Amino acid sequence: MVSKAVLLLSIALVPASASAQQEGVLHKVDTNVFRPAHQPFSEDIVRRLKVPEGFEVSVFARDLGNARMMAVAEDGTVYVTRPNEKDVIALSEGASEPRVLVANLDGIHGIAIREGRIFLATIHDVIAADLKEDGTIGELATIIDDLPDGGQHGRRTLGFAPDGGLHINVGSSCDACFESTEEKAANLRLDIKDKTRTVFAHGLRNMLGFDWHPETDVMWGVDHGVDHLGDDLPGEELNKIEQGAHYGWPFCYGDRQPDWVSFTMPESTPKDEFCRTKTVGPALTFEAHASVINIRFYDADQFPADYRDDAFVTLRGSANRADPAGYKVVRVTFENGEPNGKEDFLTGFLSGDGKSEFGRLAGLAIAQDGSLLVSEDTNGVIYKITHQAGG
């Protein structure tokens, strides 16, 4: 069925080469494409949103266009990247209009703030500038300008490790293929002082979101699964990111399962053996194709004490399965530094029949008052979630 509201397509994928066969068996997979009809912002959307008891949702800012990644400065100013508008804006709560800080940045997406400087990432570049007291920025300086080309996943994200290393996501250029450089489908680590970089972790198809646990300083990231294994495989991943580890792409999915539909084969090792012995499986999974975008650990005091050191994850929403999944924020609970469960935290962006959506979620940030900010990049709204009783 095809209409303005719904696009549904069934595709049979059959491997063309023997290398994609498991013991001579061809694997056939049905892949669906379904996009719920988008609904424009209205106050009714805010009223339909649901959060746990004791929390409330309000609008921090609206009419922002393609609002994606966010970073909060010490003075409370919220900085937002807008890829479609090719700019970076600054927001203060209650301000009538955002301030455009820098424009004409093709591929702008990643953002991070550290020690009074703002760092931004485009497809190829990482640039930085000093933050000024009036909320503006100083002259932009190029840190690096030779990140790999984009392809299917050209949006870069940034994050500073507790020790000051700058980490950069470089997604894969395709669904499942061999890359021209080891810096694709990887998390890179950049030394700001001498501008040298290394591949920190491999086999990550598109780990847009990553953060460090506040107590253990361990890095965790959310990664996109491949598109070609049908509606229910593979689950989107939460991974413990360790230096030098390989997380499976493009050879494996899920808990180190060989992807026999993909033609890719590792060098010198059978695929099933490589997946079993050379890769790391996810610590936790989400619904397949739900499009994990960002993760942020809660390290503030406004929310109840049992939320501290838990993580929030944005699931932007699926487009390649018959029954839509995602369109929400999930809380991942942690105990002794390890994830032990997940639960819905912010929902209501998908209609009950699954045919309409009211926004696709992207970035996360912790405001100075301890509230959670959630950006939505189709209606251009940043939602603010507060706990009514305080900490």
Tens digits of per-residue pLDDT, 155-171?
Answer: 999 999 999 999 999 99
Which residues face 211 on adjacent strands? 220
| Cis before 214 (ω within 30) | no
Which domain does 347 fall in, by range? Answer: 38-387
- Determine the Cα–Cα distance for residues 126 and 70; give it in Å rounded to an integer: 16
- Of the candidates 319, 380, 379, 313, the one whose C-alpha atom is nearest the C-alpha of residue 354 is 319
- Determine the Cα–Cα distance for residues 238 and 209; give it in Å rounded to an integer: 10
Query: Within 10 Å of residue 50's Cβ, how many Cβ atoms?
Result: 13
Residue 365 has pLDDT above 70, yes or no: yes
Q: Which of 77-81, 225-229, 385-389 has the lowest mean pLDDT?
A: 385-389
Q: What is the per-residue pLDDT for 137?
A: 93
Place 25 in a pLDDT band, splitting at 50, 70 and 90: low
Mean pLDDT of 81-88: 98
Query: Within 10 Å of residue 269's Cβ, how many Cβ atoms?
Result: 14
| Cis before 250 (ω within 30) | yes
Q: Which of 87-96, 241-250, 260-269 has the lowest mean pLDDT?
A: 87-96
Tens digits of per-residue pLDDT, 311-351?
Answer: 999 999 999 999 999 999 999 999 999 999 999 999 999 99
Half-sphere exposure of 206 (CA within 13 A, CB side): 22
Tens digits of per-residue pLDDT, 249-291?
Answer: 999 999 999 999 999 999 989 999 999 999 999 999 999 999 9
Q: What is the per-residue pLDDT for 29?
A: 72
Residue 16 has pLDDT above 60, yes or no: no
- Of the candidates 89, 53, 48, 85, the one whose C-alpha atom is nearest the C-alpha of residue 70 is 89
- Of the candidates 295, 375, 307, the one whose C-alpha atom is nearest the C-alpha of residue 61 is 375
Q: What is the per-residue pLDDT for 17?
A: 36
Place 38 in a pLDDT band, splitting at 50, 70 and 90: very high
Residue 352 has pLDDT above 60, yes or no: yes
- Determine the Cα–Cα distance for residues 228 and 224; give it in Å rounded to an integer: 12
Beta strands, E only, 21-156:
29-33, 37-38, 55-61, 70-72, 78-82, 87-91, 99-102, 110-114, 117-121, 126-130, 141-144
Q: What is the per-residue pLDDT for 391?
A: 44
Place 92 in a pLDDT band, splitting at 50, 70 and 90: confident
Residue 378 has pLDDT above 90, yes or no: yes
Q: What is the per-residue pLDDT for 154?
A: 96
82 occurs within a structural domain? yes
Name the most confidently modeled range: 19-23, 94-98, 231-235: 231-235
Q: Domain tally for the chain?
A: 1
Query: Within 10 Å of residue 144's Cβ, how many Cβ atoms?
Result: 18
Q: What is the per-residue pLDDT for 133?
A: 87
Residue 13 has pLDDT above 60, yes or no: no
5 occurs within a structural domain? no
182 occurs within a structural domain? yes
365 occurs within a structural domain? yes
145 occurs within a structural domain? yes
Tens digits of per-residue pLDDT, 178-209?
Answer: 999 999 999 999 999 999 999 999 999 999 99
Q: What is the per-residue pLDDT for 382?
A: 97
Place 96 in a pLDDT band, splitting at 50, 70 and 90: low
Question: Which tokens is 57 given?
Answer: 């949702």
Residues 6 or more apart whose CB falls under 8 angstroms from that of 203 comprise 185, 186, 245, 246, 247, 248, 249, 250, 251, 252, 279
Query: Which stretches within the chain are classed as H helix?
Result: 43-48, 271-278
Tens digits of per-residue pLDDT, 109-141?
Answer: 999 999 999 999 999 999 999 999 888 899 999
Q: What is the per-residue pLDDT for 10?
A: 36
17 occurs within a structural domain? no
355 occurs within a structural domain? yes
Q: What is the per-residue pLDDT for 27?
A: 62
Rounded to the nearest 5 percent, the helix, strand and coil shares of the chain are 5, 40, 55
Domain of 145, CATH number, reads 2.120.10.30
Tens digits of per-residue pLDDT, 48-81?
Answer: 999 999 999 999 999 999 999 999 999 999 999 9
Calculate the alpha carbon distances from 325 to 208, 321, 372 in Å.
18, 8, 22
Residue 12 has pLDDT above 90, yes or no: no
32 occurs within a structural domain? no
Residue 106 has pLDDT above 50, yes or no: yes
Place 9 in a pLDDT band, splitting at 50, 70 and 90: very low
Q: DSSP 3-state assignment of 3?
A: coil
Q: What is the per-residue pLDDT for 15?
A: 38
Q: What is the per-residue pLDDT for 334?
A: 98
Q: What is the per-residue pLDDT for 94?
A: 65
